[in-house]
Amino acid sequence: MPIFGTSILSFIPGWTAEGGTFAIQKAAEYGFDMLEISLPSSLDFDAIATKMQLDEHGIQGRLSLNLPKASHIPLYPENALALITKALDKVGEMEGDFLGGVLHSAIGTFTGKQCTVDERVIIRQVFTELAVYAKKQNITLAIEPINRYESYVFTAAHEVLQMIEEIDTINIGLHLDTFHMNIEELNFYDPVIAAGNRLKHVHITESDRGMTGEGNVHWDDFFKALAKINYQGPLVLENFSSEITALVGSTSLWRPSKYNSEDLAKGSLLFMKQKVALWYNENQLIQ
């Protein structure tokens, strides 16, 4: 069965030592198996202390990173390489084996044009080097395509999968997010099937970032595909409540949320468990 996780954004707007303690406590209290920690771009993060806290509360931890503007790979490949390398070191310090997130570009940085062949060459070179470095620590990188309003680099699953094939490495995978899929993919089934065992991480997010099951995401198609490839990795809740006021601007929560953060987290966790129980059991019966 997949692992049921949530992002720190269910509880706090960004990582701090104090906020992290709160997020770890709440994730465990609400019944999650795992907490995804979005690293600050400063990498001001005590990996060893955090691992101890996660262990004390009986939950797993995974790290992710979204590149800042100064590390947008097509413009600043050296900065990006240095930053992601340091983030991989943080994963190693936490005894982890994974780094995901928007690792291909800085959210909100655009040229006004499509990603060029030359830019893709630069991106591929950076990830070729990162794959070698990550392999030394037995770490898998997973790249998250995001929607066209937030990036012009990788916006769909097939673009990431194509680069993985070009690099020809087993420690770079795909990180899917149903919010972005709802905008960019033709459906929720085919990208998952195309990814197969290269799918390493999943963000579970409704089309309006609200309660799962109340929006436009075709959840049955998505979970049917996950069961078909026998995905056993994390399903990480990433929806937001305007109750956490510091998230309003960064996540465009211009209308008050229907749910507070606790109800949103607990309700979505139940929804994920129900869909997994339905489709994974159905797939076993078919086989």
pLDDT score, position 283: 72
The letter for the amino acid at 70 is A
Query: For the chain, what is the mean pLDDT?
Result: 96
Reported confidence tier of residue 65, pLDDT bands at 50, 70, 90: very high
Strand locations in 82-190, DSSP E? 98-100, 140-143, 172-177
Global pTM reads: 0.96
3-state SS, 38-104, equals ECCCCCCCCHHHHHHHHHHCCCEEEEECCECHHHCCCCCHHHHHHHHHHHHHHHHHCCCCEEECCCC
Range in 79-88, 136-145, 247-256, 266-275 the model is least confident about: 247-256
Catalytic residue among 144, 150, 184, 185: 144
Reported confidence tier of residue 223, pLDDT bands at 50, 70, 90: very high
Reported confidence tier of residue 282, pLDDT bands at 50, 70, 90: confident
What are the C-alpha distances in Å from 286 to residues 2, 227, 264? 19, 11, 33
pLDDT score, position 162: 98
Give the domains, in start order, of the chain with CATH numbers. 3-286 (3.20.20.150)
Distance CA 138, CA 95 (A): 10
Catalytic residue among 36, 185, 206, 238: 238
| Residue 144 appears among annotated catalytic residues | yes
Percent of the chain surpassing pLDDT 90: 94
- Res 284 pLDDT > 70: no
- Res 287 pLDDT > 60: no
Return the C-alpha torsion angle 221, 264, 273, 101, nearest 10. Answer: 70
Distance CA 205, CA 203 (A): 6
| Residue 238 appears among annotated catalytic residues | yes
**Mean of the pLDDT values across residues 210-215?**
97
pLDDT score, position 16: 96
Residues 154-182: tens digit of each pLDDT: 999 999 999 999 999 999 999 999 999 99
